Amino acid sequence: MSRNVALIVAAGRGHRVGGPLPKQYRRLSGGAILAHSVTAFARLASIAAVRVVIHPDDAEHYQEALSGLNADMQTKLLAPVAGGASRQESVRLGLESLTEDAPDAVLIHDGARPLVSEAVIERSLTALAQDIGAIAALPLSDSLKRATPDGRSIEQNVAREGLWRAQTPQTFRFGDILAAHQAARGQHATDDATVAEMHGASVALVLGDEENIKITTEADMVRAEQILMDRSDDRPADSQEWRVKVGLGYDVHRFSEDGDHLMLCAVRVPFERGVASHSDGDVALHALVDAILGALGDGDIGVHFPPSDEKWRGAKSEIFVAHALKLLLARHGHLDHIDITLICEQPKLSLYRDEMRDRLASLLGLPLSAVSLKATTTERLGFTGRAEGIAAQAVATVRLPVEAP
């Protein structure tokens, strides 16, 4: 039987999800993100050992993050090694640390991808029967556009046929990828597959998983929490009694003379004016947050994010959505469906509807079928009809478990 080792790369210093800790040590559903990533491999019979590459300053964080692993997993956990100044250098150092008891295959995985499934891991290993290396990836389904240098408009359509989104693990025969990384010292590669290709190797594609997300933003944390709750054996069963609740949200923003775009559903929509707002002025997301809070009976967006608080000036509205979803998750609730109506005379939004729906589905962890988005006018009546501003209505349908008596 082949000896397979997982190499988890967790030496980065990413803080975009907020807080003082590097993101791989943030808590996710009761454990550190890194602990979930390690567990995904250590629990499998096909994985003989797991080694984590960490930042030299993170030994204490590492020990705390993985102290809760059970005894069987602890026996598979090799001592961590310090990484380098770049991800590529960290991987090379991790590979070189395995040479004394060299494995047959190594699965290189991002420490901030805690939701990788057994199926993806096993598909990656199976591919090595024929190929030197294989990466988990997903074929692109969205239309691709290349922007003009200023980022304001479309310069060119890009054909998506044959294009894939790379994920991890990226899995290789050990000797081949070690040699490739050692030969690539001083060069820059975007991932391990690129390193292998620079060394002349052909790398196979295996089907990844939409849930195998990389934690980068606060919205990713919320989505990961939802996925883990849905996977959990102790979550409320489908047979349990649910209370369906509906919340309604409404928001309006006045157009301002300065600005060259509107933020709507977290999508930048070019426009000759901006909006007067304390945050980024995303009227659709503000209405949605109020709808979710309304279903929970938990105030409104102004209660949770007061406009008098300067720290929210210019803030992205995705932060407010993530907060509302966290409140929902804390009560073991599920967001089932949203329906948003944008009300304005200008700009015309039909060209952006699909992009906005896709973005909403991604933010909320919902299928497209659960995301309704419409735009309408007021037949030139009222402030929206006079093109003085924009309004949005939102309805959120949630399920909450009925509390035990």
In a domain, 61, yes or no: yes
Q: Which residues sit opposite 253 in a β-bridge?
A: 390
Domain stops at, among 188, 216, 244: 216
Residue 88 contacts by C-beta under 8 Å, 6 or more apart in sequence?
A: 181, 184, 188, 189, 195
Domain housing 345: 231-401
Contact 239, 230 (CB under 8 A): no
User: Same domain for 195 and 341?
Assistant: no
Residue with token string 């602990």: 35
Peptide bond into 270 cis (omega under 30): no
Peptide bond into 367 cis (omega under 30): no
Q: Is 153 helix (H, G, I), strand (E, B) or coil?
A: coil
Residue with token string 């919340």: 247
Tokens of 207: 């089907």
The confidence score (pLDDT) of residue 211 equals: 93
Phi, psi angle pair for 5, to nearest 5°: -125, 135
Contact 110, 23 (CB under 8 A): no
Q: How far apart are CA 322 and CA 327, in angstroms?
A: 9
User: Same domain for 32 and 113?
Assistant: yes
Contact 260, 249 (CB under 8 A): no
- What CATH number corresponds to the domain at position 35? 3.90.550.10
User: Same domain for 158 and 211?
Assistant: yes
User: Same domain for 197 and 236?
Assistant: no
User: 143-160: b or e for each residue (b if 16 or more CB lie within 10 Å)?
Assistant: eeeeeeeeeeeeeeeeee
Q: pLDDT under 50 in the chain at which residues?
A: 18, 233-239, 404-405
Residue with token string 């629990």: 43
Output DSSP code: residue 77: B
User: Same domain for 104 and 37?
Assistant: yes
In a domain, 8, yes or no: yes
Name the CA radius of gyration of the chain, rounded. 24
Number of Cβ within a 10 Å radius of residue 20 = 6
Domain stops at, among 155, 190, 216: 216
Q: How far apart are CA 120 and CA 116, in angstroms?
A: 7
Output DSSP code: residue 402: P
Q: Report the first-to-last Cα separation within the chain, whole angstroms.
A: 54
User: Same domain for 62 and 160?
Assistant: yes
The confidence score (pLDDT) of residue 233 equals: 46
In a domain, 225, yes or no: no
Q: Which residues sit opposite 105 in a β-bridge?
A: 4, 173
In a domain, 222, yes or no: no
Q: How far apart are CA 143 and CA 148, in angstroms?
A: 16
In a domain, 338, yes or no: yes
User: Same domain for 111 and 179?
Assistant: yes
User: Same domain for 20 and 123?
Assistant: yes
Residue with token string 């199976």: 126
Contact 167, 191 (CB under 8 A): no
Q: How far apart are CA 264 and CA 285, in angstroms?
A: 7
User: Same domain for 371 and 312?
Assistant: yes
The confidence score (pLDDT) of residue 20 equals: 64
User: Same domain for 27 and 156?
Assistant: yes
In a domain, 178, yes or no: yes
Residue 131 corresponds to which amino acid? D
In a domain, 79, yes or no: yes
Domain count, the chain: 2
Tokens of 341: 């109506």
**In a 10 Å sphere around its CB, with 0-12 CB exposed, 13-18 middle and 19+ buried, how is residue 303 labelled?**
exposed
> Can you give the pTM of this predicted structure?
0.66
Q: How many CA atoms lie within 13 A of 96 on its CB side?
A: 15
Phi, psi angle pair for 121, to nearest 5°: -60, -45
User: Same domain for 240 and 201?
Assistant: no
The confidence score (pLDDT) of residue 104 equals: 96
Question: In Å, how far from its chain's centre is CA 135?
Answer: 19
In a domain, 22, yes or no: yes
The confidence score (pLDDT) of residue 294 equals: 94
Domain stops at, among 216, 239, 258: 216
- What CATH number corresponds to the domain at position 291? 3.30.1330.50
User: Same domain for 281 and 141?
Assistant: no
Strand intervals (E) in 257-370: 261-264, 267-270, 274-275, 334-343
Give the angle subtended at the CA of 171 by the CAs of 169 and 176, to the nearest 5°: 145
